[in-house]
């Protein structure tokens, strides 16, 4: 007679319970991971407001010594302010798109340059700037969207607060270079500020010369930023942005010296101011020689550098506010 052994019923129940517990733990873990991965969708909409500083890189002003490329020619004394506001929409956990409207001021002044040739040229400008830009952001340090918890009446959040991203896009801007008519031995100044574009300081609009440049142009914004979440809805960000433009006339300087007499004749009642702005050169002692570009021999000689477009930079500190979806998961214990 063959003996068969049977496993008691309670052992089968225990075995099945173990499998069920393991399955439940696995499902819970996967759901938690999915919830974490999808949490960014609850804060897709965000607005920001910020202030900051500008720097202009063109023909005017610059650092010590002869003109140099990009950051090496920045003069902090010519920095001015900016105010900006924007809207951000999150496309994915690592990518966003953003639109910004910015009002800024730009300035350049040869008197601040270290190069005696620029000092003798004696050109200067200031300009308002209104920029509308759209950029894409890619996070190389992803933003962590904190999970809220509530334990025995204590509320809090879990997760890292620091993120960082690079951005690039396209924009359009309006500018209007202006300068003060201080006058010299040839033209008595009136200390008033004039918009330079209508005056054609390089002979624009005269027969045989280019037409006046447009005060509306395109730019390509690009840069890098860091962002710190103060809580689930509020963050601060510090952003450095560089703008490449398609104009060389933000400072009203690009080509050659025009004939002041012709510039004066083309501007009627503003003729003296226009002629002065076309070439306000002053003598500057440079070692054993004097640099003076005010004579007629400089007509048609280089005044700017048409081969290099103007650029400008923004450094922005902003406050960011996230709109949180009402559908939130807040586990309670």
Q: Does domain 44-176+215-256+302-323 fall into CATH 2.40.160.20?
A: yes
In the chain, what is the straight-line distance between the N-terminal and C-terminal CA atoms, in Å?
Answer: 59
Given this model, what pLDDT does residue 27 score?
A: 55
In this prediction, residue 32 carries a pLDDT of 45
Q: Which residue has the tokens 């050109």?
A: 123
pTM over 0.75, yes/no: yes
Determine the distance from the C-alpha atom of residue 77 to the mean position of all C-alpha atoms in its chain, rounded to a whole number: 19
Residues 6+ apart with CB under 8 A from 105: 54, 80, 81, 82, 126, 127, 128, 129
Say if CB 310 and CB 251 are below 8 A apart.
Answer: yes
Domains of the chain by residue range: 10-43, 44-176+215-256+302-323
Residue 167, classified by CB atoms within 10 Å of its CB into exposed (0-12), middle (13-18) or buried (19+), is: buried
**What is the Cα–Cα distance from 240 to 317, expressed in whole angstroms?**
9
Residue 285: strand pairing partners = 290
Q: Are 108 and 125 in contact (CB under 8 A)?
A: yes
> What pLDDT sits at residue 327?
60
Counting as low any pLDDT under 70, the low residues of the chain are 1-38, 40, 61-75, 145-160, 326-333
Alpha helices, DSSP H only, in the chain?
A: 9-38, 116-121, 260-265, 271-278
* Gap between the Cα atoms of 191 and 193, Å rounded: 7
Query: How many Å separate Cα 289 from the centre of its chain?
Result: 42
Predicted pLDDT at 333: 41
* pLDDT value, residue 29: 46
Q: What whole-number distance in Å separates Cα of residue 297 and Cα of residue 282?
A: 15
- CB-based contact 308:230 (threshold 8 Å): no
317 is written with which tokens? 């500190």
**86-108: pLDDT as tens digits:** 999 999 888 999 999 999 999 99
DSSP string, 205-250: TSTTSPPPPPSEEEEEEEEEEEEEESSSSEEEEEEEEEEEES-S-T
For residue 85, the Cα-to-chain-centroid distance in whole angstroms is 12
Number of separate helices (H) and strands (E) present in the chain: 4, 14
CA distances from 92 to 85, 96, 135, 263, 268 (A): 22, 7, 15, 56, 59
Q: Which two tokens stand for residue 211?
A: 């037409």
Are 293 and 281 contacting, i.e. CB atoms less than 8 angstroms apart? Answer: yes
């Amino acid at each position: 007679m063959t003996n068969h052994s049977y496993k008691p019923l309670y052992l089968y129940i225990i075995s099945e319970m173990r499998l069920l517990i393991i399955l439940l733990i696995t499902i819970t873990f996967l759901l938690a991971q999915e919830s974490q991965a999808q949490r960014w969708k609850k804060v897709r909409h965000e607005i920001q407001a910020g202030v900051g500083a500008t720097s202009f890189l063109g023909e005017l002003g610059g650092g010590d010594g002869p003109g140099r490329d990009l950051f090496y020619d920045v003069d902090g004394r010519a920095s001015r302010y900016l105010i900006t506001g924007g809207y951000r929409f999150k496309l994915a956990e690592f990518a966003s798109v953003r639109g910004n409207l910015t009002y800024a001021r730009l300035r350049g002044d040869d008197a601040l340059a270290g190069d005696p040739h620029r000092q003798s040229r004696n050109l200067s400008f200031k300009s308002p700037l209104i920029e509308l830009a759209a950029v894409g952001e890619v996070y190389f340090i992803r933003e962590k969207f904190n999970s809220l918890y509530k334990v025995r009446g204590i509320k809090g959040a879990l997760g890292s607060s620091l993120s960082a991203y690079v951005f690039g896009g396209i924009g359009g801007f309006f500018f209007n270079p202006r300068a003060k008519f201080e006058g010299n031995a040839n033209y008595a100044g009136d200390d008033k500020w004039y918009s330079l574009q209508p005056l054609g300081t390089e002979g624009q609009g005269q027969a045989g010369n280019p037409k006046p440049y447009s005060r509306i142009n395109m730019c390509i914004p690009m840069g890098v930023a860091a962002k710190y979440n103060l809580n689930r809805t509020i963050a601060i960000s510090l952003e450095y942005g560089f703008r490449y433009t398609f104009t060389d006339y933000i400072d009203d300087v690009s080509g050659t010296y025009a004939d002041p007499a012709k510039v004066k004749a083309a501007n009627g009642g503003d003729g003296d101011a226009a002629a002065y702005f076309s070439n306000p050169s002053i003598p500057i002692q440079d070692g054993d020689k004097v640099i003076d570009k005010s004579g007629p021999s400089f007509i048609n000689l280089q005044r700017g550098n048409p081969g290099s477009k103007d650029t400008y930079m923004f450094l922005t500190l902003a406050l960011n506010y996230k709109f949180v979806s009402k559908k939130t998961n807040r586990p309670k214990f």
